[in-house]
Amino acid sequence: MGNTDKFEMIAHSYDTSERIHIAKVSSDAIREYVVDANRKKAIDFGCGTGLVGMNLLNDFNSILFLDTSQNMINQIKQKISDFNIQNVDTLCFDFEKGVLSDLRADYIFMVQVLLHINDVEFVLSKLFDVLNEGGHVLIVDFNKNEKVVSDIVHNGFNQAKLTDIMTKIGYKNIQSKTFYHGSKIFMGQDASMFILDAQK
């Protein structure tokens, strides 16, 4: 996944008050789409230091924290140890570089992860394969923002175009909405965030 080396460097100082706040509003938005999941397995995909997944521990039977950055995973392992959390696991893995044929989940959520992924369709196809039948992927990310100019991330996403890509892959019952507006939250620019729910 893109920018892994950057995340390796900032892992130990990642949990700023702003990121904790964005994680809270994001996990609250995800929770609205999660139904009767206390027997279900989830993956926090591109989990970083686990800020979102930690907020959702009680909503699922288990959560796998998955990231390409070993230092981020180390931060989560420390939290798991500090708080004696039982229903979690961790995995350092890059879907753009390999295959995990035995990995399965009922829910996959990813918050501000897609903008770091070069080949969006490829990774969303891989996640489709990981989902159990009837499972959901929940994407939280920035709406397309022309003010953001970057060589290292997408400048957000058009919800309709993302829906088209996911329909082509085979996802169904796709719904999305903008749920949050913030000041200077995306590369120093005011921006809005959407949530998209899609089912296998």
Query: For 98-129, how does the pLDDT look when each residue is reduced to its tens digit (9 = 90+)?
Result: 777 789 999 999 999 999 999 999 999 999 99
Task: Give the count of beta carbons closer than 10 Å to the beta carbon of residue 174.
Answer: 16
Q: What is the SS3 assignment for 17-33?
A: HHHHHHHHHHHHHHHCC
State how far the Cα of 95 lies from the Cα of 77, in Å rounded to an integer. 21
pLDDT at 1 over 60: no
Query: For 128-152, how does the pLDDT look when each residue is reduced to its tens digit (9 = 90+)?
Result: 999 999 999 999 999 999 999 998 8
Residue with tokens 């609250």: 28
Alpha helices, DSSP H, located in the chain:
4-10, 17-31, 51-55, 70-83, 120-130, 159-169
Residue 138: give the domain boundaries: 4-199
Q: Which residue has the higher pLDDT, 18 or 99?
A: 18
State how far the Cα of 1 lies from the Cα of 107, in Å rounded to an integer. 20
State how far the Cα of 75 lies from the Cα of 88, in Å rounded to an integer. 14
**Cα dihedral: 110, 179, 23, 69 (round 10):** 30
Instruction: Average the pLDDT over 43-65 and give the result.
Output: 96
Count the domains in the chain: 1
Task: Give the count of beta carbons closer than 10 Å to the beta carbon of residue 57.
Answer: 17
Name which of 138, 141, 121 is nearest 197 in CA terms: 138
Query: For 21-47, how does the pLDDT look when each residue is reduced to its tens digit (9 = 90+)?
Result: 999 999 999 999 998 899 999 999 999
CATH number reported for the structural domain that contains residue 140 in this entry? 3.40.50.150
Q: pLDDT at position 98, please?
A: 79
Extract the tokens encoding 11.
């892992």
Extract the tokens encoding 10.
């900032």
State how far the Cα of 44 lies from the Cα of 51, in Å rounded to an integer. 10
Extract the tokens encoding 76.
């989560």
The overall average pLDDT reported for the chain is 93
Three-class secondary structure of residue 116 per DSSP:
helix
